[in-house]
Each structure stands twice: as C-alpha cells, then as structure tokens.
Structure 1
Amino acid sequence: MVTLSSINKEVGKIIKIAGVFIVFLLIAFTLIRLATIFIPKAPEKPQKAFGKLPQPDFLASQINDKFKFNIDTISGNLPNLPVIARVYKISNPAPNLLALKNFEDSAMNLGFKNRTKVSNIYYRWSSEEPVSRILTLNIQSGDFVITSGILKDPNYTSAPLTTGEEITAEASNFLDSLGVLPDDIDNTKTKIDLLSLTSSTLVKATSISRANYLKIQFSQKDMNNMPIVYDQDSPMSLIITLPQGSPIVVGANYSHQEVSHDSSTYPLKTSQEAFDELSNNKAYILFAPATDSVSVKKVYLAYYIPKTKASYLLPVVVFEGEGFLAYVPGVKDE
C-alpha cells in the first residue's frame, strides 16, 4: 500500500538525482567555457581553391633607391596581421553590342555625337558645346577616357570653383547618365584635387583661387573591413571645370573592376615577413621622401586593384610614412 511517507521518500530521491544532474551540467558548462577561453582554436586551414595565384600587377616603380626603414608605429612594433584572407575573383564583362548601343544613347544625351569606329574595340564620339571634347570607349572592357583642348589652353580661366557636394554630385550624375555608375562606390572616400596648368601639364594648385580644374577621384567600398587601394590615382576619375559658370566634365579616365562573390581563403605573410621584403627592396614604392631614411608609421592589410584588368582581388600589406607609400604582395609564397 502506497503511503504518504513512501511518496515523500521517492520525491526526495528524485530531487536529489535532479540536483546532482543540474550540478553536473553546471560543471560541464563551466569547463567548456574555460576550454574555449584558455585552449586556442586550431587555426583555420586556407582553402586555396584557385590554386597558385599570380602576383599583383604592380606598375614598374620609378623609385629604386635603397632606404633605411625605422618602425615608428604608435605601439613601436609591427602589428599582428590576420594569418589568412579571402581572395576574390574579378568579373570581366564580355563585349556587348547592346551595351555599346545603350552607351551611345546615353552619350548622345550628354552632347556627344558623330560616332567613329577607331578599331574593333575602340569607338569615339565628339562634342563641341559648351567646349570641344572627345570621348573614347573600349567596348571590350567598358573603360573610357575624355579629353579636351581646354585642358591644354594656357589662356583658359574657369569661373570660381568650389569643392562642395555639388561638384561630387555632378561627377556622380555624369557617370549615372552614362549608365556606368557602380553600386560599390564609397562616397565618403571621394577625393577632390585642385589642378592648374603649368607648362602644358596639369599639376596640383596651391589654392582654390589658383585652380582652374577639379579632379574627382572615386574609391570602392571596403571588402571584409579591408580598404581597396590603387596606384597613386584612382582609376575612376573625372576632371570638372566651369567655363561658363556651370560645371562640365572635360576630362576622364574611367576603369571599374567589379569584384565577384566567388572567393577562397589564402595564407598571408606576417607583418615581419612583409617588412623584410620592404627592407630588401622587394616592394612596390609609389612615392618616397628625398632622404635615405623612412619612418614607417602605419602598417595594414588592403586589397589592390591595378590599372590593368586583373583576374583576382589580391591582398597587399601597405606601409605608410611621412611622404611614403609602398605595397608588398600579401599572399604567402607556398
């Protein structure tokens, strides 16, 4: 016969067992947490799905001097960089006659007419109002350039220039009107240079009052919290002036390389390995001071897009200093 006393004993046993089980779970959970804190994870193995990668297609450096490099970062040391990074394929569009027709329609709306076939891949249009301009398109790559005699006229004087938002908006609207404004542009990185004409060459002006042209350079958005870097100038740049008080694009060098979602991870050089290559004259130096000693103040990872059409978006280690900029290929040689 079941009595109240026997029921209480059974309930007491169940409570004790449950209590022991709960304590066991708490101990197990604590041990797991401690393990995740004190036992390092096994490093992620690089996928290397694209096989052996090409080297970044750096331009031939005009700076071959041997420098003595000093590490002058905030910490006084080289940073610990990630050991792997993603490499992305770059999409290279095929020639498209429909794209040519659409581009021509857009160009004509901007005043460019009289199409001329220069070669199998180059087409040219001209515009005479409000100034003489020539637009040349590479239908294979989608790249285009704009030239104008006003960029070589020593007697030309622009209406007063401004570097306000309306100028960057004018540049963006021009690309949008041509149907080539990319959606990966980071407007917060847009750069404006003041230019003047000296001995038939455009150079940076010392002040806006001495400038006759504005050079607008666009940059692409970061990838995986890493900036995209180029050569000294962005491959997506326009030159604007105000011949009659209204802004007009009189120069352009436009080349956009679209990064695809197809990617794979690769091992990276350490900051010390990259610094050793820099010290051994194996870096692409974009500019340097007129001294034999350089203080490196910043070291970081970035993705590099060259002037030539690339197959991959490759990481580089960037070294910055006072009047100094250099890139070292980031993928470890294996």
Structure 2
Amino acid sequence: MTLTETARITKISILALAILVVIGISGWASFQFWYHRYYLPSRPVQVEVPEVKFGVLPRPLFPKSNVSSSNFSYSIDTETGELPTKITQLMKVYFIPQLGTTLLAPNKARILAESLNFNTNPEVVNSSTYQFKNGDGGTLLIDLNNSNFTIRYPQASSSAILQSVPLPDEDSLIDYFQNFLKQRGLFSNSLQKGTPLVTYDKFPQKTSLVATVSIIPADLDGTRVVTPSFKNGLVQATITQNKDSLKLLDVIFTIWEPDNQNTSTYPLKTIQTAFDELKAGKGTVIVEPPKPRVSLATVYLAYFEANEYAQYIQPVYVFEGEEFVAYVPAITDQYLEK
C-alpha cells in the first residue's frame, strides 16, 4: 500500500468517524428532548404511600389553653401574603421507647438523688415516682420509668436567698447550668446538639435577679422541635446570684429520646385545613395575644415534644405571629384518636 492510498484511507476513516459522532450527538439530543418533553410528562405521577404502621395515633399532649383559638380573627401577613404552598404531604412519626420501672430503677434513682445533693431516703409517691428532700428545703421528684426529674425549693426559701446582686452575662449562666449537667453525667449528645437560651425575669436585663437557662431541642430530621411553652425547652433551670456564687432555684429535666430505627410515615392535612381548624377553635393557643386580631407572620411544620410521656413524637402545624403562637395537629384526622 502506497503512502497516497494510506492517506486516502485515513481521510475516509476520519470523515466517517466525524459523521458517526455528529449522528450520535444528534441522536442523544433528540432522545433527551423526547424523554423530558413527552415521555416524563406522560407518565402518571408517583405518589408516595404513607406507611402508617403504628395505626391510629393518640393526639398530641398539648397543654390546656385558657382561651379558644376561635376567639381571634386572623390575617395572613407572611412574606408572600399567603399560606406556604411548598408543604410536604407526609412526615415521619417517631416511636419513643419507655423503659418502665425495673428492679434496678429504685437504686438508680437513689444514685441520681445523691449526685443532686439529696441524700435522704425516698418517699414513694406512687409506683413510678420517688420523692427526696434535703436540708435546704428542696424537693426532688424522680420518674423511675425514665429518670426524668424536677428540683424545686419552697417560695419562702427562694425569696430569702434573692439579693440585689447583678447576674453574670449569658455565657456564664449557660456554662453554669451545662457544667451542672456534665458533672452528673446528664449532658447527653442530644442536649449538646440543642441551643441554650437565657431569659430574664425583668427588663432591662441588668435589673433582673433571676434568669432561666433552657436548652431548646435540636432539630429532628431537619425539622424544628417545639415544646408546650414554645419559648423554653424541656430541660431548664432557674438561677439566681447568691452573694459570690450562683444558685439553682429549680431544675426541670425532661428528655424523650426518639427511636430513629422505629419510625413510620403518616399523611398530613393540608395547611389550609389546619388554618380552618385554627379558626374553628381546634387549635391550642400557646402564647395568648393581647388583642383579638392576630397577624400571622409564619406558618410551618414542627415536631412536638410534650411534658409528659407520649408514645410518639409527631408533627404539628405552628401558627406564629406577634405575641401569638398556636399549635394544630398535622396528622390527618383519619389517623388520630377521636
């Protein structure tokens, strides 16, 4: 084969390859156009089916409200002027295991009480609650089912120790409470992920003699977690300045650990349905406004954690405005107890 023939064959091969490449690109582009323009739109919409493996759920344990949500008139004053439209149609519900009272629970409660400076023998309040007292007049209640507890001092004792001593800055108050928990092995991973919040009993802050340090729960599956008070978490302490040191006036320690391996998806009512229920008096007012007309600035889904044990953590709608917060169950009524 001569050099001339070799060159000719090479040119033909390159030309053929170029033609194939052009045909391939054109074919791929045509396929993509057909696939996205005609095929995908013609397919039936795939609707995710909720699992509902827990069956009918108990209703959220909202606190009792002093007023009906139907007592107010509402205006939608969100950024768009409308209720949110991008709301998911289903969400996970989380099971909360309850360990229950075991043979080891009483001894575990005594060890916890000693770490909290309550060294007396317990009084049996009921089959699942122990009460301890100390020399400062404090009372400690421990739930044997889960080791949640509260510490309270009588009002007279609390008043007696209050002095006109300025409280330290917020960081110092947060460190004090967190160290209190750490020293007793109570500062769990879930609390570490939470957000500390300090609120004062008076305004301006410098006139306050008492502050509350609360740990707001961390998000669950990327969704905010709200509590019965909305403003505080279920783990909190009231603190004052006693001469040269800080002193706890009360502690509330309530933790519910959801089982991330035991969940089930449930269908949600539409946001319009939830709003209609709010107006009809089926919502629970958490923060009562001073005026009968409520301007709603935000409406969103959140998970609700109750003060008492609830078998499940489930989503709720939160309606929030200036000096107003209300909750409405988010699960469709079909899957909520009547």
Q: Which range, TM-score by smaller chain?
A: 0.7 to 0.9
- The one-letter amino acid of 1:298's match is T
Q: Report 1:259-270 matches (<5 A).
A: 259-261=258-260, 262-270=262-270
Q: Secondary structure at the match of 2:121?
A: strand
Q: Report 1:1-334 matches (<5 A).
A: 13=16, 16-32=19-35, 42-64=46-68, 66-80=71-85, 81-98=87-104, 100-118=106-124, 119-128=126-135, 131-149=136-154, 152-158=157-163, 159-185=165-191, 189-195=195-201, 205-232=202-229, 233-261=232-260, 262-334=262-334
- The one-letter amino acid of 1:28's match is F
Is residue 107–residue 178 contact of structure 1 (8 Å, CA) maintained in 2?
Answer: no
- The one-letter amino acid of 2:58's match is P
Structure 1 42/186 Cα, relative in aligned 2: closer, same or farther at 3 Å?
Answer: farther
C-alpha distance in 2, partners of 1:17/1:132? 91
Aligned length: 323
Deviations 1:167-220 (A, max 9, x none): 11221222233333332236663222223xxxxxxxxx2344443322212221
C-alpha distance in 1, partners of 2:182/2:107? 16
Deviations 1:72-129 (A, max 9, x none): 112111111222212111222233454554553354244321122424322233333x
C-alpha distance in 1, partners of 2:168/2:42? 58
Is residue 96–residue 313 contact of structure 2 (8 Å, CA) maintained in 1?
Answer: yes
C-alpha distance in 1, partners of 2:187/2:20? 68
Is residue 133–residue 140 contact of structure 2 (8 Å, CA) maintained in 1?
Answer: yes
- The one-letter amino acid of 2:48's match is E
C-alpha distance in 1, partners of 2:191/2:123? 31
Q: CA deviation at 1:26?
A: 3.3
C-alpha distance in 2, partners of 1:109/1:188? 23
C-alpha distance in 1, partners of 2:39/2:252? 52
Residue identity (%): 25
Deviations 1:58-81 (A, max 9, x none): 222211262111111121111112
Is residue 98–residue 145 contact of structure 2 (8 Å, CA) maintained in 1?
Answer: no
Q: Secondary structure at the match of 1:74?
A: coil
Is residue 170–residue 198 contact of structure 2 (8 Å, CA) maintained in 1?
Answer: no
Structure 1 140/14 Cα, relative in aligned 2: closer, same or farther at 3 Å?
Answer: same
Structure 1 239/276 Cα, relative in aligned 2: closer, same or farther at 3 Å?
Answer: same
Is residue 277–residue 328 contact of structure 1 (8 Å, CA) maintained in 2?
Answer: yes
C-alpha distance in 2, partners of 1:285/1:236? 22
TM-score by length of structure 1 reads 0.84
Structure 1 52/123 Cα, relative in aligned 2: closer, same or farther at 3 Å?
Answer: closer
C-alpha distance in 1, partners of 2:306/2:194? 21
Structure 1 141/266 Cα, relative in aligned 2: closer, same or farther at 3 Å?
Answer: same
Structure 1 7/227 Cα, relative in aligned 2: closer, same or farther at 3 Å?
Answer: closer
C-alpha distance in 2, partners of 1:287/1:110? 33
Is residue 198–residue 213 contact of structure 2 (8 Å, CA) maintained in 1?
Answer: yes
Is residue 78–residue 272 contact of structure 1 (8 Å, CA) maintained in 2?
Answer: yes
- The one-letter amino acid of 1:47's match is E
Structure 1 109/56 Cα, relative in aligned 2: closer, same or farther at 3 Å?
Answer: closer
- The one-letter amino acid of 1:57's match is L
C-alpha distance in 2, partners of 1:209/1:184? 32
Q: CA deviation at 1:257?
A: 0.8
Q: Secondary structure at the match of 2:244?
A: coil
Deviations 1:243-265 (A, max 9, x none): 24212323122211111112222
Is residue 192–residue 214 contact of structure 1 (8 Å, CA) maintained in 2?
Answer: yes
Structure 1 12/148 Cα, relative in aligned 2: closer, same or farther at 3 Å?
Answer: same
Structure 1 173/93 Cα, relative in aligned 2: closer, same or farther at 3 Å?
Answer: farther
Structure 1 191/39 Cα, relative in aligned 2: closer, same or farther at 3 Å?
Answer: farther
Structure 1 62/6 Cα, relative in aligned 2: closer, same or farther at 3 Å?
Answer: same
Structure 1 70/117 Cα, relative in aligned 2: closer, same or farther at 3 Å?
Answer: same
C-alpha distance in 2, partners of 1:142/1:153? 25
